[in-house]
Amino acid sequence: MNAGRPSTTRLHWYWVVGATLVLIVAVIAGVMVGPIALSPVDIMASIINRVPFVSLDTELSVRDEAILWEIRMPRVILGVLVGSMLSAAGASYQGVFRNPLADPYLLGAGAGAGLGATIAIVYAPATSSWIVDPLPLAAFVGAIGGVALAYVLGYTVRSGRTAVTLILAGVAVASFLTALQTFLQQRDSDTLREVYGWILGSLNTAGWGDVALIAPYVAVCLSVVFIGRRLLDILAVGDTEAGTLGVRPGRVRLIFVIFATLGTAAVVSVSGLIGFVGIIVPHTVRLLTSASYRVVIPLSILVGGAFLVVADIIARVAISPGEIPIGVVTALIGAPFFAVVLRTSKGVVS
Amino acid sequence: MFRRLIPLVAVVAMVGAACGSGDSDDSRPPATQTTTSVPRTTSTEPQEPTTTTEAVDGGFPVAIDAPNGMVRIESKPERVVSISPTSTEVLFAIGAGEQVIAVDSMSNFPTNAPVTDLSAFTPSVEAIASFEPDLVFLSFDPGDIVAGLEAIGIPVILHGTALSVDDAYAQWEQTGAATGHFAEAVGLVADTVVNMETEFDSLPEQEVAMSYYYELDPTLYSVTSATFIGELLGPSGMMNIADAGDPDGSGYPQLNAEYIIASDPTLILLADTKCCGASGETVAERPGWDTLTAVVDDSVVELDDDIASRWGPRIAELVMDVVEAMLELEPSNA
């Protein structure tokens, strides 16, 4: 099907091994490093103790155990899930829209989630008696609603239902929803810091509950994107040409947008709007390896998880015991890093 | 600690200037005799506090050395608009409540304050002017609200967030001077100082210094000792765990969850009960927080966000709540 494409469409085993090692190192660092120094030996012992019928002595107090297992571990795992999902979603968006600037928030998922979160923060009565925490739910619904609106708008255009009209519809919807969000935020100064903090993103208060909440979504959405990644390569030749190859561009686009959005909506609902990951991770992978989505999607999943875990280490350690919003770190560290990759690689951005 | 600086309130009674309108505002005896020696001037030089104290009540016009510049008030204001929940509380506490005709939408205390839909966050010159006020209190000027009101001849006093306790006291006294209730304002300051000192004096010596974590919202934003709240609670002798978390000096760091667990503060003070529904129960449910001594011992203090975010007379209540929680702890500490 892809005769004439260079051999770099192949996913070399050493790329996978390399990216997996990067992820493993990042996760180990994420578990070992924190504002509170716990000895690596004790951490290892505590992890081994989780294996049934094994009991090693550790120097960890009850509180240290809580720090390790209830705060640091879920935070690292959540970082992996969020980073992987945002990177894969970003790569998918770049593929279906053939636009290197596309990111997971392109069609209004970010603006919609922001509006949903703001509504929840401003209007949901403060009480602990909710069955479901209204904030993630509202962000999730907002993200999906934003993209649905953009899709409906983009596909009711009379002339031409192309990727470009969809992007323009997304821009319009995102501006509109952001305006509404800003309006609500301005009217309620008391919640300003909370809204602002949510928009910058944080994994600071994450727990296992958040991990359990988003893991199913991330698993399903990553699987779909992974399985369908070949179709993105076909779309890259253009809608008309893809059509002659038996692919229906509109349908492929819809499927990728649905699953990339579902996954994005799930992760931002617990982490807030962490920016930049969805752009720089796929591009870095592309510049270092291949422009083929058969390579970019799987490697972005691995590298994206690693990138966010590393960004989160910086977020919690740089001004410890203070926190830096992780969205600030991803841009602050990610942008210069990306510039270096851009300068030093010979790769081409498709 | 509570030596305050009354001279911040530089109030100059301008006796002569009021002569022309003797028919309107002569209900009070001229208690301003002592100030006749004060030159007829709008001088910005701070006057001796003693002079000011006796000078002002009932004596209009006055000039207030407000943070937004010298504000001249011709006669006793009868149509005061407060676009600041703190100013509203102060006005009512010093007996100026009857002169207040409108307060902003967030001014929910006292409950008999004339609440309107005026916004304290995005105030509008026209909306404020429509009440035809003769004095306006603001806590925040996002743009040209002060200039706009002054341009149409409405005196404005901008009392921004107090950075220190003395700063708050100075604002209360200025509020008194501007509304003809200076003596009450001075009394309020004195009472507050005494009440809080009495509270703190009731605390026994701490053999091991206690510590506290003060929560602004559930994403773990806190305040350091350099902030208004930090200074207010300073005499409690407790260590503030947020102090280590503020390298950039903003005073409002976001703390790391691990750090809070490891610090194991003696008291957890929640200033996010109204905004965000935080409570002893929600705190106990947070991952890892059930290991905290304060959670186990039920030393989580649910403060009133409104009191905690204002710098009005109810700060004494906040201090009382904290001291009470400390006293309850003492037996188990011994």
Contact assignment for A319 to B264 by CB distance below 8 Å: no
Q: pTM value?
A: 0.83
The secondary structure of residue B35, as a DSSP letter, is: G
Total of domains in chain B: 2
Residue-level pLDDT at B325: 92
Q: Report the Cα B47 to chain-centroid distance in Å.
A: 23
Residue of B84, B256, B272 to mutate for A, most A C-beta atoms under 10 A: B256
Q: Of B147, B173, B193, which closes a domain? A: B193
Tokens coding B1: 């600690």
In this structure, are residues B208 and B330 in contact, taking their beta carbons and an 8 Å threshold? no
Contact residues on chain A for B288, CB-CB shorter than 8 A:
63, 66-67, 69-71
pLDDT band with cut points at 50, 70 and 90 for residue A249: confident
d(CA B131, CA B133): 6
B1 domain-assigned? no
Tens-place pLDDT, residues A17-75: 999 999 999 999 999 999 888 999 999 999 988 888 878 888 888 899 999 999 999 99
Q: Report the residue from B120, B221, B258 with minimal CB separation from A72.
A: B258
Among A131, A84, A106, which residue's Cα sits nearest to residue A261?
Answer: A106
Tens-place pLDDT, residues A65-118: 999 999 999 999 999 999 999 999 999 999 998 888 888 998 999 999 999 999
B269 domain-assigned? yes
Q: Report the Cα A328 to chain-centroid distance in Å.
A: 15
Residue B129 and residue B221 in one domain: no
Residue-level pLDDT at B207: 83
* Percent of chain A clearing pLDDT 70 (strictly above): 93
B152 domain-assigned? yes
Contact assignment for A319 to B291 by CB distance below 8 Å: no
Residue-level pLDDT at B28: 38
Crossing angle of helices A249-271 and A208-227, rounded to 10°: 160
Range of the domain at B79: 6-193
Bin A276: left if φ > 0, else alpha if -120 < ψ < 50, else beta: left
For residue A244, what are the contacts with CB-CB under 8 A and spacing of at least 6?
Answer: none
Contact assignment for A204 to B246 by CB distance below 8 Å: no
Residue B123 and residue B11 in one domain: yes
Parallel/antiparallel/unpaired status of strands B100-103 and B135-138: unpaired
Tens-place pLDDT, residues B228-254: 999 999 999 999 999 987 766 778 899
Residue B231 and residue B287 in one domain: yes
B198 domain-assigned? no
B199 domain-assigned? no
Contact residues on chain A for B290, CB-CB shorter than 8 A:
66
Q: How far off is chain B from A154, nearest CA to CA, in Å?
A: 35
Greater model confidence, A161 or B121: B121
In this structure, are residues B99 and B73 in contact, taking their beta carbons and an 8 Å threshold? no
Tens-place pLDDT, residues B85-132: 999 999 999 999 999 999 998 899 899 999 998 887 778 899 999 999
Give yes or no for residue A314 having a pLDDT over 80: yes
Residue B179 and residue B265 in one domain: no
CATH number, position B132: 3.40.50.1980
Residue B163 and residue B237 in one domain: no
Question: In the CATH scheme, what architecture does the domain A7-344 have?
Answer: Orthogonal Bundle (1.10)
B23 domain-assigned? yes
Greater model confidence, A241 or A215: A215
Tens-place pLDDT, residues B49-68: 333 444 445 688 899 999 99
d(CA B54, CA B278): 47
| In chain A, domain spans | 7-344
Contact residues on chain B for A272, CB-CB shorter than 8 A:
none
Chain A residue with CA closest to B272: the answer is A126
Concatenated DSSP letters of A118-176: HHHHHHS---S--SS-HHHHHHHHHHHHHHHHHHHHHHT-SS---HHHHHHHHHHHHHH
Contact residues on chain B for A197, CB-CB shorter than 8 A:
217, 219, 221, 254
Q: Of B193, B218, B241, which closes a domain? A: B193
Residue B103 and residue B215 in one domain: no
> Which whole number is the average pLDDT over A227-239?
90
Residue B147 and residue B225 in one domain: no
Residue B179 and residue B258 in one domain: no
Asked if B256 reaches chain A (Cβ–Cβ under 8 Å), the answer is yes
Contact assignment for B258 to A187 by CB distance below 8 Å: no
Among B138, B128, B56, B129, which residue's Cα sits nearest to residue B94?
Answer: B56
Tokens coding A197: 């903090």
pLDDT band with cut points at 50, 70 and 90 for residue B289: very high
Residue B82 and residue B185 in one domain: yes
> Which whole number is the average pLDDT over A300-308?
96
Parallel/antiparallel/unpaired status of strands B221-222 and B62-66: unpaired
